[in-house]
Structure 1
Amino acid sequence: MRQLAIAAIREAGEKHARDLAELAVSETGMGRVEDKFAKNVAQACGTPGVECLSPQVLTGDNGLTLIENAPWGVVASVTPSTNPAATVINNAISLIAAGNSVIFAPHPAAKKVSQRAITLLNQAIVAAGGPENLLVTVANPDIETAQRLFKFPGIGLLVVTGGEAVVEAARKHTNKRLIAAGAGNPPVVVDETADLARAAQSIVKGASFDNNIICADEKVLIVVDSVADELMRLMEGQHAVKLTAEQAQQLQPVLLKISTSAEKAPSAVTG
């Protein structure tokens, strides 16, 4: 049954990838349709399934050991506004493959697209002969609802994808097992041994993918002095723009909202 359910999810995820991408951009105001479409297809087709969870048998002079992975049961999954449909597809496949059902708590800014994705996947599972409501979601997601899930005794595992606030809330408000992915600031290091043309193309392509809202997108560039000028020239050839110090200073108040505790990008320009 797991194989049938996952095959149905893959088919539905790929079939509706573009519609979900368009809905995500429309609802959240972030990212690019083409890039979200690519993410949705990649998760539908590439997320590992039951093939990664085969039992193992070990034998030796001291006897035989059987290793068989058991499901957690009901898993609570918090999903982000940056990859709403893609994360639902990915978590649905991986968690059902392990024998679990899932209750999702989507980011409030991506409520409609997340709930739409869950509905489509559930319909596909039932049409393939699987049970109803393997995937469910809360009606009105917010941090308080998520915290209630974190403490609910019927849930054994938390899978949380989001910003610092929700990851920290998951850590503070539960004693359950937690798999969490928070904000990222990935660096790229380029030295004199690099293929500079390829590096320039890859950095610009990666940093601009989905308007850089993905936590794994390139965000910091560290280059040795001997190749820095040439790399910058090649990046400009890939449509990157080099700002002067004065231009960077003028851009700062647009990109950063200064508060008493931190500098944050205002939502109006994010993504």
Structure 2
Amino acid sequence: MIQRNSERKTMDAIGQIVCASGQAYTAYRQCTLKDRKRTIEAVRKGLKGAVMNLAEMACRETGMGHSVDKARKIALAVDKTPGVEDLQTEVLTNDDGIVLTELSSCGVIAAVHPCTNPIAVLINTTISALAAGNAIIHCPHPRAFHSSQTAVELINASIKEAIGIDHLVSMLPTTGHHVCEQLMNHPDVDMIVVTGSSTAVSAAFRADKKVIGAGPANPPVIVDETADLDRAASAIAESAAFDYNLMCVSEKAIVTLDCVAEPLLTAFARVGVQVLDSKDMEKVERLMFNADGDVARRYEGRPLKEILDRAGVVYHYPAKLAVGEARLNDLLVMKEVKIPIVPMVRMPDFKSALTAASQVEQNYHHTAGIHSRSIERLDEAARAMRTAIFVKNAPFISSIGFGVDVPCAFSIASQTGEGPISARHFTHRRRCVLSEAFQIK
């Protein structure tokens, strides 16, 4: 009886939040594009002063990551998430008239988030949803509930001050798989965006609504004998060490040719990466996996020293990342493990290296990359991997906006095909046709 009463209260709370979001959406639909721009600028301004505080809160609450790196992620989401400029109109004219295709808002969006990048994903998703003209309800990971709540409160205060609308951005009063599924299945929720596991994406599909699904990843990077090894080592070290390798787009395994393996390890040592031998890597694997082959999540997003100390491996100060040799079928290679230790697999030639990288990526169609000076191999690898993101001769984190002038995206919709998501993906495409007019060619 107590459990039923609790479930009823949760369903009532969800119903009230969805109702308030629907009313906010109705009001927001009356706003102009200038109003949307003003809203987003207010949100950016309201969050800027809280970046470090939110980063520290997220680190404490989740027990994962590095606060300075988390602050960089949050700042990137605040500054470089595309706004209304992402909503491009398509126009076709001919002798028969004009066809106009516009991107129109969806309505009330349910957003389910991971614990790895909770605040950056929340902000990135919120700005995208607002730019597209929607209301959004967040369902954060239980390990990031309070930091997410703080971010939502700051966002709502900014929106209220800018355009006077309440509840345009909301959050559930509690969280968990069951609560998220109740929200996703609510009849007045129009769209679902999930950043996380395949299980969460599958639950979203069962709700029978428009779904953007950012599922699992295991990004491999190929290094061939033509590569600039110092550049490759530096790029991998920058990306894989960032936030203790919590990013879904960061390099999780290296596949290299046998003839270049030793020089590559030397290049890693030159840029401050600790090189582990095969016995050390075996100790790390025993620490990171239980008897059933499941990842020991308590060590994910933790500093290199802590993990090596726990594994019984000597840590070399001040390394932030370690690289060590492994076999293709090792669990550290074939499963996504979010730690600052990257396994390296040797293959005899480029063809077998490309095949191995495809095995490591496991058809998640998420992220992969290569370091090579060969144009033919850059092209061949990109075609073979078929990932939403493919990075050539650069750190993988550059693909979402770090250090380069590209739009920020923290959700990579590999399962539903949108790739790096932005405002345009939070819309419906609508076609308007006018016969025998407006063609002046």
Q: Same fold (TM over 0.5)?
A: yes
Deviates more, 1:92-101 or 1:6-15: 6-15
Give the Cα–Cα distance (whole angstroms) in 2 for the partners of residues 25 and 84 of structure 1.
Answer: 10
Which residue does the alignment assign to 1:186? 219
Mean Cα deviation higher: 224-233 or 85-94: 224-233
User: How far 1:181 sits from its partner (Å)?
Assistant: 0.9
Give the alignment of 1:195-214 within 5 angstroms. Answer: 195-214=228-247
Aligned equivalents of 2:48, 2:290: Cα separation in 1? 38
Q: Which residue, out of 160, 167, 187, partners 1:133?
A: 167
Could you report, residue by residue, the CA deviation over 1:86-141 in whole angstroms, capped at 9, with x for unpaired residues? 01110111011011000110001110111111111111111223411110010111
Conserved? CA contact 1:256–1:266, under 8 Å? yes
Partner residue of 2:298? 268
Matched residue SS, 2:274 = coil
Q: Which moved more, 1:73-82 or 1:4-13?
A: 4-13
**Cα RMSD over matched residues?**
1.3
Equivalent residue, structure 2, for 1:253: 286
8 Å Cα contact 1:159/1:178 also seen in 2 = yes
Displacement after TM superposition at 1:192 (Å): 2.2
In the TM superposition, residue 168 of structure 1 has moved relative to its aligned partner by 2.7
Deviation string for 1:190-243 (max 9, x for gaps)?
Answer: 112222111100101111111111111110101122322111111122222222
Match of 1:91 in 2: 125
Task: For CA contacts below 8 A with separation 6 or more, give which structure has more relative contact order.
Answer: 2
Match of 2:134 in 1: 100
1:56 deviates by: 3.1
How far 1:79 moved relative to its partner?
1.0
- Give how far 1:57 is off: 2.5
SS in 2 for 1:178: strand
Decide whether aligned partners of structure 1 residues 130 and 257 sit closer, same or farther in structure 2, where only a CA change above 3 A counts.
Answer: farther
Match of 1:264, SS?
coil
Count residues in correspondence: 267
CA distance in 1: counterparts of 2:56 and 2:63, whole angstroms: 10
2:145 is the counterpart of 1:111: yes
Equivalent runs, 1:236-247 vs 2, <5 Å: 236-247=269-280
Which deviates more from structure 2 when the two are superposed, residues 137-146 or residues 245-254? 245-254
- Determine the structure 1 residue equivalent to 2:339: none
Question: 1:31 aligns to what?
Answer: 65
Q: Distance in 2 between matches of 1:195 and 1:162?
A: 34
Letter in 2 for 1:242: V
What corresponds to 1:5 in structure 2? 39
SS in 2 for 1:221: strand
Secondary structure of the structure 2 residue equivalent to 1:30: coil
CA distance in 1, matches of 2:129, 2:101: 19
Alignment partners' CA distance in 2, 1:53 and 1:215: 26
Q: Which segment drifts farther, 55-64 or 91-100?
A: 55-64
Which residue identity lines up with residue 194 of structure 1 in the other structure?
A
Q: Which amino acid aligns with 2:214?
A: A
Q: Is 1:167 the counterpart of 2:197 in the alignment? A: no
Q: Which amino acid aligns with 1:227?
A: V
Tell me whether 1:223 sits opposite 2:256 in the alignment. yes
Query: Which 10-residue stretch deviates more, 1-10 or 160-169?
Result: 160-169
Structure 1 consecutive aligned stretches of length 4 or more whose deviation exceeds 6 Å? none
Opposite residue 33 of structure 1, the aligned amino acid is: S
Tell me the distance in 2 between the aligned counterparts of 1:244 and 1:48.
44
TM-score (norm 1): 0.94
Q: Counterpart of 1:124? A: 158
Where does residue 268 of structure 2 map in the other structure? 235
Task: Report the residue type matching 1:31 in the other structure.
Answer: G
Residues 4 and 130 of structure 1 are in contact (CA less than 8 Å); yes or no, is this contact kept in structure 2? no
Separation (CA, whole Å) in 2 of partners of 1:87 and 1:160: 10
How many angstroms apart in 1 are the aligned matches of 2:37 and 2:164?
10
Identity percentage of aligned residues = 38
- Opposite residue 201 of structure 2, the aligned amino acid is V
Tell me how far apart the structure 2 counterparts of residues 148 and 163 of structure 1 sit (CA, whole Å). Answer: 18
Matches of 2:285 and 2:221, distance apart in 1: 22
List gaps (5 residues or longer) in structure 1.
none
